[in-house]
Structure 1
């Protein structure tokens, strides 16, 4: 069962990623853009909009829309994920905010 420490480890392993603290919560950014954060004990990820909508529909117990009308974020119950799925979701969230010239070579280098 993944934890916030796993989220931290996975996030900080990505190119350009760093951790900031906002109101005592860890946020994971590249530059000033956030791709993953913890808020009130919940993990929130910036996922691809189409993938996100699918997850909301087929796994509502694990994924819920974060209630901000103009931004697409997902509340994720990480205890319901396995380690590999969390790793994939963190990578997806990161790739949503970095330039394609950064994400494409990195993603192509993965096994």
Structure 2
């Protein structure tokens, strides 16, 4: 089942220090002034932070899923994904990795440690 803008919002807003903003009819998620994820106006594409040096390989490996940024965004660590082409697990991974590029390492480590503890508790309960 393809993911939606609500799935993006749910994941992004669960991440510490994230705020949501509407800029020129586009929903953007950011840490202070740094945007790490942005929905297209029609909410079919998600732009997200991704290392510049790795994005061409990502797009080449899965061109039906990933797209290069629009020309005005090529100078940034940015790539785009078609939401209809991914599931919620992959969306979570992409959004969390983009968020980690923007927050202090300490904040990311604390968040990921809490997730690991929760996962371990859930596994023990099974």
The aligned residue for residue 46 of structure 2 is 43
Matched, 1:31 2:15: no
Aligned length: 111
Q: How does 1:11-90 map to 2 (within 5 A)?
A: 11-41=12-42, 42-49=45-52, 51-66=54-69, 67=71, 68-90=73-95
Q: Distance in 2 between matches of 1:44 and 1:27?
A: 9
- Cα RMSD between the aligned structures? 1.5
TM-score (norm 2): 0.80
Q: What TM-score comes out, normalization by structure 1 length?
A: 0.89
Unaligned ranges ≥5, structure 1: none
Whose radius of gyration is greater, 1 or 2?
Answer: 2
The 4+ residue runs of structure 1 with deviation greater than 2 A are 39-42, 48-54
Q: Secondary structure at the match of 1:44?
A: strand
Q: Going by fraction, where is helix more abundant, 1 or 2? A: 2
